[in-house]
């Protein structure tokens, strides 16, 4: 974890969570699934005026009603309570009653008319011989309200089939205008500006589009576990709120910069201004966006005015970028480190060195004989694996970077671990939003995989939670991100092996359409570099000597 002393903003305690439950009532139509939504009151304390799924807080009576409900053998007590709360709320808000008579008949309009929406719910159902159909309510997702909001809920999004013969009628107090709508139509209307829905509703509707029938949705929920769990984070893009789930590229950066959820961090890419990530970490992105570089190459400044700075990956030899990097730290650069010799990382080092009055040494590893002609690099001094670069000044906090040799993407690739704050500066070994190219002979697949294992061990050993890549936003959950990346590489290699088995006398041109069928064809020329690395790796293990 980053030191509290290095966080950019004073932290505050997020609002306490309240247990709640929401239910998506679904029905099949010739045009596909429809979901029941309703508009919240304009005076509601949470999401006023938004179209939502019915739901609300869980109370003690919901737990007390277990004996009046049917349940699946695999349905936990917690999920049963949540289902009962959702049944109660759908009745109180919309007059929909998920309950059955003793003979199995669903509650009908006469039963609904006989019940008072404002009186104790379960007791009224018991008096009419109705059993709550909690066994027909399934867990779809688990949402936890964003940390920045003053009212927060811990809420499962449940799903159930709408009982036949019932018609929703809003209570005209909390909810208004019940409407059946296809998920795609709701999203289109929201985009057009005439159907306001909030972030969790948007993401849920987006996922719901993938299912053709209600049966398909319920089958997907059979495991009793939510299909996803999320507590979103929010930042700014061009000054406007921008919310993100855990799997989205921006999430990790927001977790680092604003762990308590304050909406203060600008996510839009910029080249003219350094972006502070911590008090001792600045990022300046070079103006070299492109197919291979994404938004551009990230240069990092680690340190503070008292200790001076380490500049990591000055990037291409772009005079404007190098001057901005120099000015961002007042020229107080003690070391310049290049993670590897590729032309979007190291060429700017000499220009940056020349701007500094004390001419800080350029550190890294010399390019190997296998490096491409445009990737030649010779540092002033070579760094050793495990070496530590220490920035310190009397009376000030220390910043320690541990060098990690990580061949794979390039033979001379290295990463740096900021020990005090649990940050891994990953160069091109780990990227956000894409996988790095392994291009033989300077790139080598087994070395790459071994380096991933090495980084995972170091992150666990030192409690490193975040990865600062050379391209893209900060990644969170460093060990998880590394494990995911390795699994992706091995899955790709399995597809390569399958392609080689299918066409044993083939070549790269024959195998790439099979192994990279999930990648746009325009990217296949670059994909063939990593394909070659996979083929070499498979053959080195004794397979497919063709």
- Indicate which CATH number applies to the domain containing 330: 3.60.15.10
Q: Which of 93, 83, 43, 38 is nearest to 63 (CA)?
A: 83
Residue 309 pLDDT > 50, yes or no? yes
Residue 26 lies in a domain: yes
Mean pLDDT of 274-295: 95
Q: Are residues 511 and 500 in the same domain?
A: yes
Cα distances (Å, whole numbers) of residue 31 to 181, 184, 191, 205, 380: 11, 11, 21, 16, 67
Q: 163: which 2 tokens?
A: 């009982």
Q: Are residues 523 and 412 in the same domain?
A: no
Q: Are residues 352 and 214 in the same domain?
A: no
Q: Are residues 221 and 72 in the same domain?
A: yes
Contacts of residue 225, defined as CB under 8 A and 6 or more positions apart, other chains included, come to 139
Q: How confident is the model over 438-463, as pLDDT tens digits?
A: 999 999 999 999 999 999 999 999 99
Q: 297: which 2 tokens?
A: 């190459």
Structure confidence at residue 410 as a pLDDT band (50, 70, 90): very high
Residue 545 pLDDT > 60, yes or no? no
Instruction: Report the Cα–Cα distance between both ends of the chain, in Å, rounded.
Output: 49
Structure confidence at residue 350 as a pLDDT band (50, 70, 90): very high
Q: Are residues 112 and 139 in the same domain?
A: yes
Taking each continuous run of H as one helix and of E as one strand, the counts in the chain are 14, 24
Q: How confident is the model over 143-166, as pLDDT tens digits?
A: 999 999 998 999 999 999 999 999
Last residue of a domain, one of 250, 268, 286: 268
Residue 5 lies in a domain: no
pTM for the model: 0.92
Give 156's DSSP letter: E
Q: How confident is the model over 156-212, as pLDDT tens digits?
A: 999 999 999 999 998 887 788 899 999 999 999 999 999 999 999 999 999 999 999
Q: Are 415 and 369 in contact (CB under 8 A)?
A: no
Last residue of a domain, one of 485, 511, 526: 485
Residue 205 lies in a domain: yes
- pLDDT, residue 546, reads 43
Q: Are 409 and 456 in contact (CB under 8 A)?
A: no
Q: Are residues 227 and 254 in the same domain?
A: no
Structurally, the chain folds into a number of domains equal to 4
More confident residue, 214 or 176: 214
Strands across the sheet containing 399-405: 388-391, 399-405, 414-418, 423-427, 466-469
Mean pLDDT of 137-147: 97
Mean pLDDT of 117-142: 95
Q: Are residues 338 and 241 in the same domain?
A: no
Rounded mean pLDDT of the chain?
A: 95
Q: 452: which 2 tokens?
A: 């991933």
- pLDDT, residue 544, reads 61
Q: Are residues 43 and 163 in the same domain?
A: yes
Q: Are 437 and 409 in contact (CB under 8 A)?
A: yes
Residue 1 lies in a domain: no
- Specify the 3-state DSSP secondary structure of 176: strand
**Residues pairing with 244 in the sheet:** 233
Residue 10 lies in a domain: no
Q: How confident is the model over 25-60, as pLDDT tens digits?
A: 999 999 999 999 999 888 777 778 899 999 999 999
Q: Are 467 and 452 in contact (CB under 8 A)?
A: no
Q: How far apart are CA 311 and CA 317, in angstroms?
A: 14
Residue 12 lies in a domain: no
Q: How confident is the model over 70-84, as pLDDT tens digits?
A: 999 999 999 999 999
Q: Are residues 381 and 512 in the same domain?
A: no
Domain that holds residue 369: 277-485
Q: Which of 463, 280, 263, 425 is nearest to 345 (CA)?
A: 425
Q: Are residues 377 and 328 in the same domain?
A: yes
Q: Are residues 282 and 381 in the same domain?
A: yes
Residue 419 lies in a domain: yes
Q: Are 375 and 410 in contact (CB under 8 A)?
A: yes
Last residue of a domain, one of 223, 249, 268: 268
Q: 209: which 2 tokens?
A: 């589009």
Residue 57 lies in a domain: yes
Q: How far apart are CA 403 and CA 363, in angstroms?
A: 11
Contacts of residue 14, defined as CB under 8 A and 6 or more positions apart, other chains included, come to 147, 148, 152, 260, 261
Task: Report strand pairing: 414-418 vs 423-427.
Answer: antiparallel
Q: Are residues 59 and 161 in the same domain?
A: yes
Give the CATH number for residue 215: 3.90.79.10
Q: How far apart are CA 82 and CA 459, in angstroms?
A: 38
Q: How far apart are CA 34 and CA 134, in angstroms?
A: 21
3-state secondary structure 30-82: CCEEEEEEEEECCCCCCCCCCEECCEEECCHHHHHCHHHECCCCCCCHHHHHH
Which segments of 167-275 does DSSP mark as H helices, in order? 183-192, 199-208, 214-220, 251-257
**Residues pairing with 27 in the sheet:** 34
């Amino acid at each position: 974890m980053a030191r509290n002393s290095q966080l950019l903003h004073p932290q505050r305690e997020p609002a306490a969570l309240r247990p709640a439950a929401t239910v998506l009532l679904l029905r099949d139509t010739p045009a596909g699934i429809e979901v029941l939504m309703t508009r919240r009151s304009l005076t509601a304390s949470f999401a006023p005026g938004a179209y939502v799924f019915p739901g609300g807080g869980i109370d003690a009576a919901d737990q007390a009603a277990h004996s009046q409900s049917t349940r699946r053998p695999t349905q936990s007590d917690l999920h049963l309570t949540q289902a009962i709360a959702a049944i109660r709320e759908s009745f109180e808000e919309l007059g929909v009653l998920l309950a059955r008579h003793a003979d199995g008949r669903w509650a009908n309009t006469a039963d609904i008319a006989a019940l008072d929406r404002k009186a104790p719910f379960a007791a009224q159902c018991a008096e009419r011989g109705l059993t709550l159909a909690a066994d027909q309510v399934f867990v779809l997702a688990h949402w936890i309200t964003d940390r920045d909001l003053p009212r927060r809920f811990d809420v499962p999004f449940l799903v159930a089939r709408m009982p036949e013969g019932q018609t929703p009628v809003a209570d005209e107090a909390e909810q208004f205008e019940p409407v059946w709508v296809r998920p795609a139509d709701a999203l289109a209307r929201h985009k057009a500006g005439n159907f306001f829905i909030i972030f969790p509703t948007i993401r849920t509707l987006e996922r719901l589009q993938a299912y053709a029938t209600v049966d398909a949705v319920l089958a997907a929920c059979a495991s009793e576990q939510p299909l996803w769990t999320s507590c979103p984070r929010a930042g700014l893009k061009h000054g406007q709120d921008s919310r993100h789930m855990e799997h989205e590229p921006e999430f990790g950066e927001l977790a680092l910069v604003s762990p308590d959820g304050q909406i203060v961090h600008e996510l839009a890419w910029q080249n003219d201004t350094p972006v502070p990530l911590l008090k001792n970490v600045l990022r300046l992105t070079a103006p070299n966006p492109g197919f291979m570089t994404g938004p551009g190459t990230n240069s990092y400044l680690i340190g503070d005015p008292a200790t001076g700075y380490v500049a990591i990956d000055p990037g291409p030899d772009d005079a404007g970028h190098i001057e901005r990097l120099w000015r961002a730290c007042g020229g107080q650069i003690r070391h310049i480190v290049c993670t590897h010799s590729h032309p979007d990382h190291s060429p700017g080092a000499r220009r940056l060195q020349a701007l500094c009055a004390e001419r800080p040494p350029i550190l890294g590893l010399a390019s190997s004989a296998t490096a491409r002609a445009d990737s030649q690099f010779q540092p002033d001094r070579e760094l050793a694996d495990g070496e530590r670069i220490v920035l310190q000044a009397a009376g000030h906090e220390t910043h320690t970077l541990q060098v990690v040799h990580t061949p794979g993407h390039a033979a001379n690739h290295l990463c740096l671990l900021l020990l005090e704050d649990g940050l891994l500066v990953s160069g091109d070994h780990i990227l956000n939003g894409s996988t790095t190219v392994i291009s033989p002979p300077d790139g080598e697949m087994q070395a790459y995989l071994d380096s991933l294992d090495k980084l995972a061990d170091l992150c666990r050993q030192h409690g490193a939670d975040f990865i600062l890549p050379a391209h893209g936003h900060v990644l969170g959950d460093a060990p998880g991100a590394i494990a995911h990346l390795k699994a992706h590489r091995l899955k790709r290699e399995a597809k390569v092996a399958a392609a080689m088995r299918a066409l044993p006398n083939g070549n790269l041109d024959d195998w790439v359409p099979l192994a990279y069928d999930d990648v746009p064809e325009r990217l296949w020329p670059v994909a063939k570099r990593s394909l070659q690395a996979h083929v070499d790796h498979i053959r080195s293990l004794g397979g497919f000597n063709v």
